[in-house]
Amino acid sequence: MRIAVIGTGYVGLTTGTCLAEMGHQVTCIDNDPEKLAKLRRNVSPIFEPGLQELITRNAGAGRLSFDDRIGPAVKDSEVIFICVNTPRKSDGHADLRYVEGVARQIAEHLCGEYKVIVDKCTVPVRTAEKVRQTILRYGADETRFDVVSNPEFLKEGTAVQDTMAPDRIVIGADTAPARLKMMEVYRPLVEKTGAPVKMVSVRSAELIKHGANTFLAAKISFANLIAHACEEAGADALEVLEAIGLDERIGGHFLCPGIGFGGSCFPKDIAAFGKTLETLGIDGMFVEAIEKINKQAIERFLRKIEKELWILDGKAIGVLGLAFKPCTDDIRNAPALKVIDRLKAEGAVISAYDPEAMENTRKAVPEIVYCADAYQVAAGAEALVVCTDWEEFKHLDLARVKNLMRTPIVFDGRNVFNPEEMRGLGFKYFGVGR
Ligand code: UGA
C-alpha cells in the first residue's frame, strides 16, 4: 500500500519505518529542515535500538523515503497517518494546533481515490471528529475519506520491537471501508505475529490510549505510595510489591518504585486525561492523586539527600543517569534534571554521566561537568545520586567506586543496587522504600 506518515518523532518515524518493513511504500513527512537533512541521508535523528538498521534497509530497498511536502504524499497515498506532537498546554489540556494544521493541509490535497486519515498521536476522545470536521471545512468531499483512530503503544527504547511484535493492535473505525483499509495495512504484521486486532469505535480507541497510559502511571504511583509507607513503617517495598504483584489480577510489571515517571508521554497524557474528565463533567481526583504522588516521590528523595548531606553548598555530587529511563537519549521531563536543578540551586558542584543522554543534557544544562564514565563521576565525589536504572550501572565494580569516592554515600533513586551488598562494601546507602 502507499502510505504517508506526517511527523517523524518517536511515533512517526518508528511507525513509518516499521510500515515499510511490513512491505508498504512509505513517505515520511517532516517540516524540520535539520531532521529532514539527516533522514534524507538515511540517518536516524533519534537513538532507538534497531531503528537505524530498519531505516537503512527499507530506504535502500526503495520502500521508505522522506519529504517536507505534504501535498504530493497525500495525493499519492491510500492511508495517511497523522503523527505530529500533541504537547501540553500550560493549563494541562493537549495542544492540538499541529493536528489541526495537518488536517487543513490534508484537506487541500485530498483528491482522487478514497483515503483513510489515521490519528496515531495521543489525543483526547472526540479529536477524530474534529479532524473530520476540519477536513470537510477546508474543502474535501465527505465521500472521499474517513478518519480513524489507531493509537500507538510503543515505549521509547523498545519502540521497534513494540511496533513489530505488538501486544495488540487497536483500530477505531466507524465505517466498513475504513476498517477494511486498516486491516490491509496491518495484515502482514497480523499474519506474521498473530497479534490480536481490537476493532472498536473511533471514540473507544481514543479512550483506550489515554486509559492505558493513565493505568500504567497509576501503577507507578501506587508502587511509590507503598514505598513511602515502607520507609515510614520500616518495611521493604520490593518485598511488599513483589508479593502484591504475584496476584495475577495485579501483575508484577510496572510496579517499581523510584523517583517517579518522566518522559514525553505520561506527564502530558495524564494531565490531558484529567482535562478530558473535567470536560466530560467527571471528577479528576484519580488523575490528581497519580500526579501528586509522582511529585512527592522526587520531593522525598531530595529531602533524603538534604537531610543526610546537610549543607549542599560546595559539595561534590555525582549524578548517574540523565535519561528519563534506560535505553534512550531522551531527557524530556527526566527526573534527573529536576534533581540536578535542585542540587545546583543549593550550590552543589555536579558531575554527571549517562550512556546515551549526555549530548542532549549538555545542551539543556551546560554548566555541570560531564564525565566519560561512572568511575570518573565517583572520583572525589561526596555522594552519588542514581537517577536512571541503566543496565551498565548494575555491573559497576562497586569496590572501585567506593575507593574513588571522598565520602561513600549513595542515593539510589531507582533501586539499582542491593542495600545489604552496598552496606557490606562500606557505603552509606539510601534506596527508595527499602
Ligand atoms: C509510555 C508507555 O509505557 C507506552 O505504552 C506508551 O505507548 C507511551 O508512553 C506513549 O504514550 O507514547 P514511555 O514514555 O516510553 O512509554 O516510557 P515508560 O517505559 O512507560 O516509562 C515512563 C517512566 O516511568 C520512566 O521515567 C520510568 O523510569 C518510569 N517507571 C516505569 C517507573 O518509575 N517505575 C516503573 O515500574 C516503570
Which of 169, 219, 220, 412 is the pocket-test mutation for ligand 1 (most atoms within 8 Å of CB)?
220
Q: Does residue 320 surpass a pLDDT of 90?
A: yes
Would you state the pLDDT for residue 99?
A: 97
Which of 123, 154, 337 is the pocket-test mutation for ligand 1 (most atoms within 8 Å of CB)?
154
Question: Model confidence over 334-350: pLDDT tens digits?
Answer: 999 999 999 999 999 99
Residue ending a domain, among 200, 224, 240, is: 200
Residue ending a domain, among 170, 200, 230, is: 200
Question: Model confidence over 2-56: pLDDT tens digits?
Answer: 999 999 999 999 999 999 999 999 999 999 999 999 999 999 999 899 999 999 9
Which grid coordinates belong to 412? 539510589
Does residue 399 sit in the same domain as residue 382?
Answer: yes
Report residue 111's pLDDT band, with 50, 70 and 90 as the boundaries.
confident
CA distances 119 to 5, 82, 122, 127, 292, Å, are 10, 5, 8, 9, 30
Contact 259, 293 (CB under 8 A): no
- According to DSSP, residue 123 is labeled -
Q: Does residue 307 surpass a pLDDT of 90?
A: yes
In the numeric block, the cell 504530493 is attached to: 72
Q: Does residue 153 surpass a pLDDT of 90?
A: yes
Does residue 177 sit in the same domain as residue 48?
Answer: yes
Does residue 166 sit in the same domain as residue 314?
Answer: no
Strand partners, 118: 81, 148
Contact 364, 296 (CB under 8 A): no
Would you state the pLDDT for residue 112?
A: 85
Where does residue 212 rank: exposed (0-12), middle (13-18), buried (19+ CB within 10 A)?
middle
Residue whose CA is at the smallest distance from ligand 1 atom 31:
254
Residue ending a domain, among 177, 200, 223, is: 200
Of 106-115, 265-274, 372-381, the poorest mean pLDDT is in: 106-115
Known catalytic residue at 327: no
Would you state the pLDDT for residue 47?
A: 86
Q: What is the mean pLDDT of residues 145-163?
A: 96
Would you state the pLDDT for residue 375?
A: 98
Question: Model confidence over 163-204: pLDDT tens digits?
Answer: 999 999 999 999 999 999 999 999 999 999 999 999 999 999
Q: Which atom of ligand 1 is nearest to the CA of 262?
A: 26
Q: Which domain holds residue 341?
A: 208-434
Does residue 236 sit in the same domain as residue 119?
Answer: no
Does residue 34 sit in the same domain as residue 10?
Answer: yes
DSSP letter for each residue of 251-311 = -STT---SS---SSSHHHHHHHHHHHHHHTT---HHHHHHHHHHHHHHHHHHHHHHHHH--
In the numeric block, the cell 497525500 is attached to: 74
Q: Rounded to the nearest whole angstrom, what is the distance from the C-alpha of residue 222 to the centroid of ligand 1?
A: 14
Contact 350, 366 (CB under 8 A): no
Strand partners, 229: none
Query: What's the CATH code of the domain at 182?
Result: 3.40.50.720
d(CA 125, CA 424): 53
Q: Rounded to the nearest whole angstrom, what is the distance from the C-alpha of residue 369 to the centroid of ligand 1?
A: 28
Does residue 255 sit in the same domain as residue 196?
Answer: no
Does residue 114 sit in the same domain as residue 196?
Answer: yes
Q: Which atom of ligand 1 is nearest to the CA of 209?
A: 11
Does residue 306 sit in the same domain as residue 184?
Answer: no
Q: Which atom of ligand 1 is nearest to the CA of 122?
A: 11
Does residue 191 sit in the same domain as residue 220?
Answer: no
Report residue 142's pLDDT band, with 50, 70 and 90 as the boundaries.
confident
265, 327, 371, 387: the catalytic one is 265
**Ordered alpha helix ranges (H), 285-397:** 285-309, 335-345, 358-364, 374-378, 391-394
Please name which of 79, 75, 67 lies closest in space to residue 27, comparing C-alpha atoms. Answer: 67
Q: What is the mean pLDDT of residues 84-100?
A: 95
Three-state SS at 413: coil
Would you state the pLDDT for residue 141?
A: 84
Would you state the pLDDT for residue 179?
A: 98
Which grid coordinates belong to 374? 561512572
Question: Model confidence over 411-423: pLDDT tens digits?
Answer: 999 999 999 999 9
Does residue 190 sit in the same domain as residue 321?
Answer: no
d(CA 228, CA 240): 12
Which of 265, 300, 338 is the pocket-test mutation for ligand 1 (most atoms within 8 Å of CB)?
265
Report how many domains make up the chain. Answer: 2
- CB-based contacts of 63, cutoff 8 Å, min separation 6: 20, 23, 24, 25, 26
Does residue 194 sit in the same domain as residue 214?
Answer: no
Does residue 110 sit in the same domain as residue 179?
Answer: yes
d(CA 304, CA 376): 24
Q: Which atom of ligand 1 is nearest to the CA of 159?
A: 15
